[in-house]
Amino acid sequence: MDMSETERVLSRIAETDIRALESDGAICLRNMFSEKWRALIAGGIARDLAHPGPYARTQSDPDDPGFFFTDYYAWRHTPELERFARESPGAAIAAKLTRSAQINYFFDGVFVKNPGTTKKTNWHQDQVYYNVDGNQIVVLWIPIDPVTTETCLSFVRASHRWGKNFIPVLIKDSRVPEGLGPEYVPAPDVEAERENYDILTWDMKPGDCIAFHPMMLHGAAGNSLKIQRRALQTTWLGDDCVYAVRPVEVEPRIEGRPFKAGERLTDESIFPKVWPRAV
Ligand SMILES: O=C(O)CCC(=O)C(=O)O
Probe ligand 1: pick from 141, 235, 250, max atoms within 8 Å of CB?
141
Specify if 128 maps to a domain.
yes
Residue 2 confidence (pLDDT) above 60: no
User: For ligand 1, which residues put their CB under 6 angstroms from it?
Assistant: 109, 111, 121, 126, 141, 153, 218, 220, 231, 233
Specify if 12 maps to a domain.
no
pTM over 0.85: yes
- State the closest ligand 1 atom to the C-alpha of 233, by its place in the atom list counted from 1: 9
Residue 21 confidence (pLDDT) above 90: yes
Residue 126 confidence (pLDDT) above 70: yes
Specify if 269 maps to a domain.
no
More confident position, 110 or 278 = 110
**Could you tell me if residue 163 is left (phi over 0), alpha (psi between -120 and 50 degrees) or otherwise beta?**
left
Probe ligand 1: pick from 153, 155, 169, max atoms within 8 Å of CB?
153
Contact (Cβ atoms closer than 8 angstroms) between residue 30 and residue 12:
yes
- State the closest ligand 1 atom to the C-alpha of 139, by its place in the atom list counted from 1: 9
pLDDT of residue 172: 75
Distance 240 CA to ligand 1 centre (A): 24
Residue 179 confidence (pLDDT) above 90: no
Residue 130 confidence (pLDDT) above 80: yes
Q: Specify the pairing of strand 165-166 against strand 184-185.
A: parallel
Q: Specify the pairing of strand 132-133 against strand 273-275.
A: unpaired
| Interval 61-106: pLDDT, tens | 999 999 999 999 999 999 999 999 999 999 999 999 999 999 999 9
Q: Domain residues for 51?
A: 24-260
Probe ligand 1: pick from 111, 148, 232, max atoms within 8 Å of CB?
111
In whole angstroms, give the CA distance from residue 17 to residue 96.
10
Q: What is the CATH number of the domain that holds 220?
A: 2.60.120.620
Distance 111 CA to ligand 1 centre (A): 7
**Could you tell me if residue 73 is left (phi over 0), alpha (psi between -120 and 50 degrees) or otherwise beta?**
left
Output the CA–CA distances (angstroms, integers) from residue 3 to 7, 10, 15, 95, 121, in the order listed: 6, 10, 20, 18, 39
Specify if 252 maps to a domain.
yes
| Interval 23-57: pLDDT, tens | 999 999 999 999 999 999 999 999 999 999 999 99
Distance 127 CA to ligand 1 centre (A): 12
Which residue's alpha carbon is nearest to atom 1 within ligand 1? Answer: 111
Q: Report the number of distinct structural domains present in the chain.
A: 1
CA 9 distance to own-chain centroid: 20
Label residues 13-36 b or e (16+ Cβ within 10 Å = b). Answer: beeebbebbbebbbbbbeebbeee
Query: Whole-number mean pLDDT of the chain?
Result: 96
Specify if 159 maps to a domain.
yes
Residue 3 confidence (pLDDT) above 80: no
Contact (Cβ atoms closer than 8 angstroms) between residue 132 and residue 238:
no
Residue 9 confidence (pLDDT) above 50: yes
pLDDT of residue 1: 46
Distance 126 CA to ligand 1 centre (A): 9
Specify if 101 maps to a domain.
yes
- State the closest ligand 1 atom to the C-alpha of 126, by its place in the atom list counted from 1: 10
Specify if 89 maps to a domain.
yes
Residue 169 confidence (pLDDT) above 90: no
Specify if 276 maps to a domain.
no
- State the closest ligand 1 atom to the C-alpha of 111, by its place in the atom list counted from 1: 1
User: pLDDT over 90 for what percent of the chain?
Assistant: 91
Distance 124 CA to ligand 1 centre (A): 9
